[in-house]
Amino acid sequence: ETGVTQSPTHLIKTRGQQVTLRCSSQSGHNTVSWYQQALGQGPQFIFQYYREEENGRGNFPPRFSGLQFPNYSSELNVNALELDDSALYLCASSQDQANEKLFFGSGTQLSVL
Amino acid sequence: GENVEQHPSTLSVQEGDSAVIKCTYSDSASNYFPWYKQELGKGPQLIIDIRSNVGEKKDQRIAVTLNKTAKHFSLHITETQPEDSAVYFCAAFYNTDKLIFGTGTRLQVFP
């Protein structure tokens, strides 16, 4: 049990819609990262949040955006959904920005039809 | 560029045998290399990690070795058990903000 919780566990959307995924970090952790895992692939870095600001970003378009709240929980928002956005979205927390040890939640499985 | 290659993609072993998974990374500045185990329907679980100032680390049946010169690192599982069956990912930490993952190895341990 890592302590990182994500909601919802599953979600079905249609192309063009918008989606918000939520994550609560492990107790004592102030940094949250989001990853996208396509079927049969390794997770790919979307972005990281530290002290409520985006602290690093992978190769994802601006329609992927996020927020971090004062309690260190986080949201991932995806606008104008495309079929290729169908994937497992993973949230990971770490003790602080400089700590590379990431603890993952179980993810949200997003299906875009 | 940022890249981690992982081999093999699938690995089948008999219970009690050893399993070895190998990874290669591209950025010599990387200094942290974790291994994750992912079971069906779950997120990746950190099982062992190693930093670049160490050549080998062991935790019970699991060991990781690192060759910084060659940019290779490997996961060794001894005395495999059916519950070791899962997908294993290696990763390298880049630019102080992200893990770059390999493509995964599906390990099957047959009783």
pLDDT digits (tens, 9 = 90+) for B44-62: 999 999 998 889 999 999 9
Average pLDDT, chain A: 94
**Pairwise CA distance, residues A67 & A32, whole Å:** 10
Q: Return the pLDDT at B90.
A: 97
B55 HSE (CA, 13 A, CB side): 3
Q: For residue A1, is pLDDT > 70?
A: no
B97 with A102: Cβ contact below 8 A: no
Strands B10-14 and B105-110: parallel
Q: Which two tokens stand for residue B80?
A: 């495999």
Smallest Cβ–Cβ distance between B43 and the set A97, A101, A104 belongs to A104
What is the percent of chain A where pLDDT is above 90? 88
Contact A55 B97 (CB under 8 A): yes
Question: Of A2, A100, A109, which to mutate for an interface test with B (greatest number of B Cβ within 10 Å)?
Answer: A100
Q: Say if residues B101 and B91 touch (Cβ distance below 8 Å).
A: yes
Of B93, B96, B80, the residue nearest B25 (C-alpha): B93
- Whole-number pLDDT of residue A99: 74
The answer to whether residues A68 and A74 touch, using CB atoms and an 8 Å cutoff, is yes
Instruction: Give CA angle at B109 (B106, B110), nearest 5°.
Output: 135
Beta bridge partners of A34: A47, A91
- Give the A:B interface size as CB pairs under 8 Å: 62
Mean pLDDT, residues B24-45 taken together: 92
Distance CA(A15)–CA(B41), nearest Å, equals 24
Mean pLDDT score, B89-110 = 91
Nearest to A106 among B42, B93, B101 (CB): B42
What chain A residue is nearest to B103 in terms of C-alpha separation? A42
What is the C-alpha separation between A54 and A67, in angstroms, rounded? 8
* φ, ψ of residue A36 in degrees (nearest 5): -110, 130
Strand partners, A43: none
Q: Which of A98, A100, A105 sits opposite B43 (nearest CB)?
A: A105
- pLDDT digit string, tens, across residues A80-90: 999 999 999 99
- Could you say which of A42, A97, A100 has the minimum Cβ distance to residue B101? A42
DSSP annotation of A25: P
Q: How high is the pLDDT of residue B106?
A: 98
Percent of chain B with pLDDT over 90: 81
Interchain CB distance below 8 Å, A106 and B99: no
